[in-house]
Amino acid sequence: MRAVLFDGKRAEVVDDLEVREPGPGEVRVAIAAAGLCHSDLSVVDGTIPFPVPVVLGHEGAGVVESVGAGVTHVAPGDHVALSTLANCGTCAECDRGRPTMCRQAIGRPGRPFHRDGGPVYQFAANSAFAEQTVVKAVQAVRIPEELPLTSAALIGCGVLTGVGAVLNRARVDRGDSVVVIGAGGIGLNVIQGARIAGALRIVAVDANPAKEEAARRFGATDFLTSTDGVHELLPTGADHAFECVGRVELIRAAVDLLDRHGQAILLGVPAATAEASFRVSTLYLDKSILGCRYGSARPQRDIALYAALYRSGHLLLDELVTRTYPVEDFEKATADAGAGRVARAVLTF
């Protein structure tokens, strides 16, 4: 079958990958569509270290092909969106409703694929850039069949991360002011999360002025090409500042933009060894710096919620899909994403 494989030197489309049958508590899914996220590109450029060879992709949707023993919440033929959260469901963190903190779900890559007689790693417990993949049952969330799979694919990372960071982690409230640094795929979802939460002022900041139209469509009330102008719009600072780029100087800027009791929420992914600095005294007025993993999501709850918000017209999904590409055009999709020509490129099978 076809898949996008990274061997440590280059990512390419191969057609001879094999995937095993699902075991107990697992689901095999025929992938219909998968979003190209910067995290996939970060594996290729080394920002995110990962063992190789690995099948890339972690933002996908498709149709259940088969299920292993004990799986009852989905069945063959069901449409599903996939999460990357292969949490155990039984530890203390899962029991507290914090599956993103499950230690069984971090740093334990599986190898359900084979090629040329050798095992191949699975990226983010998902590997959506393959015609078929095997995931833990908890990762497959049933969605309405009328939800286009090209749009549903984006729920599993960009929407869960961006909207979830607003609703679950920052808990933005009605009337709050929000600054979003970076208006790419994650930033747009932060913007619409803030709109859904009832934020009164939503300032999008992106160096690319061409992103203003999309930012405003998703809910931005203001658009700037630099953080330098934020204090003119919000003289006392912002209640929440989301850094969605992954640059340490922008992390510092997010902290400096806060009002009293403000929160800087870090979503961008810099290099693993990157260090950021800030003036300690700026935090004494009850300001906070919050890390956020995967939108502090509870995927079985949140994906169903976001699908319902989409059906009611409150959550934009179709508008996130800038362009679709057959998987064979992976290099073209990568080039367009790297150049900022698309908010989200979606690969189709």
Long-range contacts of 7-13 (CB under 8 A, 24+ apart): 7/52, 7/53, 8/52, 8/53, 10/44, 11/44, 11/56, 11/330, 11/334, 12/330, 13/327, 13/328, 13/330
**From the DSSP assignment, how many helices (H) and strands (E) are in the chain?**
10, 19
Closest CA to 223 of 201, 204, 240, 237: 204
- Report yes or no: 347 and 325 within 8 Å, Cβ to Cβ: yes
Burial 178-208 (b: 16+ CB within 10 A, else e): bbbbbbbbbbbbbbbbbbbbebebbbbbbee
238 bridge partner residues: 258
Beta-strand runs (E) in 164-227? 177-181, 201-205, 222-224
* Distance between CA atoms of residues 296 and 100, nearest Å: 6
Query: Which pLDDT does position 275 carry in this prediction?
Result: 94
Q: Does the pTM of the predicted model rise above 0.75? A: yes
* Distance between CA atoms of residues 253 and 210, nearest Å: 22
Query: Which pLDDT does position 271 carry in this prediction?
Result: 82
DSSP character for 262?
E
Through-space distance between the first and last CA atoms of the chain, rounded to whole angstroms: 10
- Report yes or no: 18 and 68 within 8 Å, Cβ to Cβ: no
Question: How many angstroms separate the Cα of 242 from the Cα of each of 69, 155, 193, 214, 222?
Answer: 42, 19, 12, 17, 15
Helix ranges (H only) for 239-329 are 248-256, 299-311
Q: What averages of pLDDT result for each successive group of 10 residues across the chain (349 residues)?
A: 96 97 98 93 89 97 98 98 95 94 85 96 96 97 97 96 98 98 95 98 96 97 97 98 96 97 95 90 94 96 96 96 95 88 89
Q: Strands 3-6, 54-55: parallel, antiparallel or unpaired by DSSP? A: antiparallel
Query: Which pLDDT does position 272 carry in this prediction?
Result: 82
- Report yes or no: 200 and 178 within 8 Å, Cβ to Cβ: no
Q: Which residues contact 306 (CB under 8 A, 6 or more apart)?
A: 155, 159, 160, 163, 315
- Report yes or no: 5 and 120 within 8 Å, Cβ to Cβ: yes
* Distance between CA atoms of residues 26 and 86, nearest Å: 10
- Report yes or no: 282 and 255 within 8 Å, Cβ to Cβ: yes
